[in-house]
Chain A
Amino acid sequence: MLAFIIRRLGQALLVLMAVGFVSFSMFKFMGDPVENMLGQEATVADRAELEERLGLNDPIIVQYLRYFQRAMSGDFGVSYRAGLPVGEVILDRLPATLELALLSAVFAISLGFVLGVYTAIRRDGYLANFIMTTSLIGVSLPTFLIGVFLIWAFSVNLGWLPSFGRGDTRSLFGVDLAILTVDGLKSMILPAVTLGLYQMTLIMRLVRSEMLEVLRTDYIRFARARGLSQRAINFGHAMKNTLVPVITVTGLQFGSIVAFAIITESVFQWPGVGLLFINAVSFVDIPVMSAYLLLVGVIFVTINLVVDLLYFAIDPRLSVSGK
């Protein structure tokens, strides 16, 4: 088990180095930092001197390793726009994105799972068919459209929920969280639903098809022949066996929720890293963009690791010892 974790951590490091190389290349190929720093009055000698001082004459690989090493210690350079260290800028925005992603993941997973199991058990029921048909809308509508529609319905027409911003926040261990206040929670509902709707329908359809698959297996037939109640079969047996493939996809979906909160955050002006990234793009704030890229890489790698470990918790056939 320990060996497995260490091996996976090694693989994770390799993936991050690859992602790091992409974000490092942004500096190399998007704009010229020397030009930006010296301005128009600089002489050729000034340029050469600065290039030498910044280490730009070293081989690419040396420059990259230096970048990666700094990034590992949290030093991503200084934001062109804010003039603050990028690490600080991102850390300041990260809680907003994470709490939004968490809420929308809870929404997507819980509702997706419940509806998926329901539509599988009541395969031919009217309500189940209705849910399945409606879910197509969730799968096919683009996120920004859903967001705008929700704002139109619940903010403009009904006036129940705020249409933008994060609302009040409360500090917990030095981190400001909106989820802890009623006002903040109200502000979160619309963006969380918008962000999670697609994932919810996806999880629901996946759970349904996996569950239908499991319900056809021999051990479910045998469980029926043993006289177990429908309830025990559905929830004691079938649901557990549905989990393994569902967890894989759900894990990756959570990564996407964090990474692609960009659209939702701009629709609702949610002050998270997604919005930060959009603003960075329009200002060509390369240090922020490259750090964001690495952050997304870290999140995906971490989630994958957690998913792999969850398999072990669910499926006894995977225990390394095998007994």
Chain B
Amino acid sequence: MSDTPLLQVSDLIVEFPVRQGVLRPVDRVGFEVRAGEILGLVGESGAGKSMCGAAIIGLIERPGRITGGEVRLNGERIDNLPEDDMRRIRGKRIAMVFQDPLTSLNPLVTVGRQLVETIRTHLPVSASEAQRRAIALLEEVGIPAAATRVDAYPHQFSGGMRQRVVLALALAAEPDLIIADEPTTALDVSVQAQIMALLKRLCRERGAAVILITHDMGVIAETTDRVAVLYAGRLAEIGPTRAVLSSPSHPYTVGLMASTPSTTGNLNKLSQIPGSMPNLRAIPKGCAFNQRCGKAVARCFEDIPILEPVRDSQVACWLYDPATLTNTLEKTGATE
């Protein structure tokens, strides 16, 4: 039990049939999440972060579907479960928090009723016990006067308060894993830190693991234990957060870090990666990053790189392949 990771994603492929062919927003992504761990999932918009989250919890919008790989929760496969069994896992064992707290709550239903229905869907408790737990949850996420606010409607809460309610809803049935899809993007900067701290505290107290989907490197640095970098639906690099952030290996991660402003570096000039992420319809042959990579070698245009250990992390880049290392690095020099 202890050596089985809480969540194992291997070679996950998500495909969408469209008129011109088949799009693949998630392409052979694999990672693990251990109990109580916080894994960051970073990447540009369209890199497949949210789609990964949706695939794990089984909420990919039709006509998209998982066409390859598997998702295991505590060792059991969950990606091929019948809808009704998957529904019992959602909210109970894996919960999800979405980006916009303003639209995540049904405006016509009191927050109390939304909490009670979630609790009673997953736990065999009476209505009054569920109501009591709903108030306790609201208190726990820091809603003042929870006993009266439980009967309020979502529009009577501010944005930050609503995201607290959303967290309470996600935690209602004590899930083992929370997928937080950009939980603070829609909030004021001042509130963002509070919500992140709250999420971190609640999960630590309950031993719940988190997959934090974000494009904010600051949030990644402060919050996560490990980080996975996605590019055009593929995993570029995954490893301990400190290792990936301080000594990134994949050229894309290197570029990403260089384009993140820091207080210690040069504040006047912010470097950027030339070009933009390829459209899903036009992913180049070989490495998806080859068009923008300054160090691409011949092989990068031929074969898709596979994840290999580099220092503390795992990196999908031919530059670290022993064969390439010997004949290229000595010519071009190491990372700048």
Chain A contact residues, CB within 8 Å of chain B = 217-219, 221-230, 232, 236-237, 240-241, 314-317, 323
Contact = CB atoms under 8 A, between A and B. Distances in A.
Contacts of B109: 236-237, 240
A236 B105 contact: no
Given A222-B166, A223-B106, A225-B98, 15 more contacts: A218-B104, A219-B104, A222-B105, A224-B90, A225-B90, A226-B118, A226-B121, A227-B88, A227-B173, A228-B87, A228-B91, A228-B118, A241-B107, A315-B107, A316-B153
Interface of B: 57, 59, 87-92, 95-96, 98, 100, 103-110, 117-118, 121-122, 152-153, 155-156, 166, 169-170, 172-173
Contact of B121 (A218, A227, A241): A227
Given A227-B91, A316-B153, A317-B155, A221 B118 contact: no
Contacts of B87: 227-230
A71 B155 CA distance: 45
B107 A317 contact: yes
B98 A221 contact: yes
Nearest to A219: B106
Contacts of B155: 316-317
B59 A228 contact: no
B59 A225 contact: yes
Given A227-B121, A314-B108, A317-B153, A221 B169 contact: no
A104 to B, nearest CB: 29
**How would you classify the secondary structure of chain B's contact residues: helix, strand, loop or mixed?**
mixed
A222 to B, nearest CB: 4
Contacts of A241: 106-108
A317 B91 CA distance: 27
A316 B106 CA distance: 11
9 contacts: A218-B100, A219-B103, A219-B104, A225-B98, A226-B91, A227-B90, A227-B118, A241-B107, A317-B107
Nearest to B122: A227
A218 B108 CA distance: 14
A120 to B, nearest CB: 15
Q: Which of B92, B100, B108 has the most CB atoms of chain A within a 10 A radius of its CB?
A: B108
Q: 10 tightest A-B contacts by CB? A: A227-B91, A218-B103, A227-B90, A225-B96, A226-B91, A316-B153, A222-B104, A219-B106, A226-B118, A317-B155
Contacts of A219: 103-107
